[in-house]
């Protein structure tokens, strides 16, 4: 059985362009609203996660989606069940 061929890059770009453009505009608008808002979020770790994710997006490294997912993921905790107060199985 043959593996399906990946969609050509130009086809992906044409198909996804408007949706990605809208998402990028939404991100920029959110950052602008934070800039105009009162107070500062410079020390909030979530803002650093945004910046780290944007750096990944701007790179040409492979597996960008996986890298960004890891930025927003918790580190593995062997005691997660206890720490999240989950019942034992």
Tens of pLDDT, residue by residue over 11-43, are 999 999 999 999 999 999 999 999 999 899 999
Q: What is the rounded CA–CA span in Å between residue 28 and residue 71?
A: 19
36-89 pLDDT, tens digit per residue, is 998 999 999 999 999 999 999 999 999 999 999 999 998 888 888 888 888 877
Q: What is the rounded CA–CA span in Å between residue 9 and residue 81?
A: 43
Q: What is the DSSP string of 15-37?
A: HHHHHHHHHHHHHHHHHHHHHHS
Q: What is the rounded CA–CA span in Å between residue 74 and residue 76?
A: 6
pTM score, whole prediction: 0.78
CA distances from 70 to 35, 55, 66, 80, 89 (A): 26, 13, 6, 17, 27
**Hey, is 69 helix, strand or coil?**
helix
């Amino acid at each position: 059985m043959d593996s399906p061929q990946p969609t050509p890059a130009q086809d992906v770009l044409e198909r996804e362009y408007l949706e990605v453009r809208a998402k990028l505009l939404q991100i920029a608008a959110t950052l602008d609203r934070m800039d105009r808002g009162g107070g500062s979020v410079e020390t909030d770790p979530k803002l650093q996660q945004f910046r780290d994710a944007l750096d990944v997006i701007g790179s040409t490294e492979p597996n960008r989606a996986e890298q960004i997912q890891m930025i927003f993921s918790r580190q593995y905790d062997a005691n997660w069940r206890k720490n999240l107060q989950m019942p034992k199985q």
